[in-house]
Structure 1
Amino acid sequence: MGPGNGETGAEVADDAIVAGQIILGLKTLRDHLGCSLHEALDVYVARYEVLRRERPADFTKSHEEYWANFYS
């Protein structure tokens, strides 16, 4: 997270998010941000939405397929 760039630190999990590695992404966020699992999930979902808008071609699964079988 660079100074003044408006990032939250969530970009550390971008590779995992794009790859659909939800558990790894959550762990990465928890370790990096020092937050609870619930907070990490909130950050993950927010970053997922940003990446879906900014880099749609990087995702190989539809939104429905991405979240299939993930229950929180």
Structure 2
Amino acid sequence: REPCDPECKKRMLCDLKSGRSNDRKHTCAKIKKQIENREWKDWKNWIFSGLTITSLATWWFWG
């Protein structure tokens, strides 16, 4: 089997979640939105962490 990329994982989650639901389109849109929100938060946290570490290092070495 070939590797499953992020889009493949979204499809798998959608298929599993909507297995009993007649409203597959709505269910999949909701899952996609939740994943995108989590990705945005992870990205934002990564940037903030990097800025914080850089600020502390700058203060420590040149403060």
The alignment's TM-score, normalised by the length of structure 2, stands at: 0.41
If asked which structure has higher relative contact order (CA below 8 Å, sep 6+), I would say 1
The alignment's TM-score, normalised by the length of structure 1, stands at: 0.38
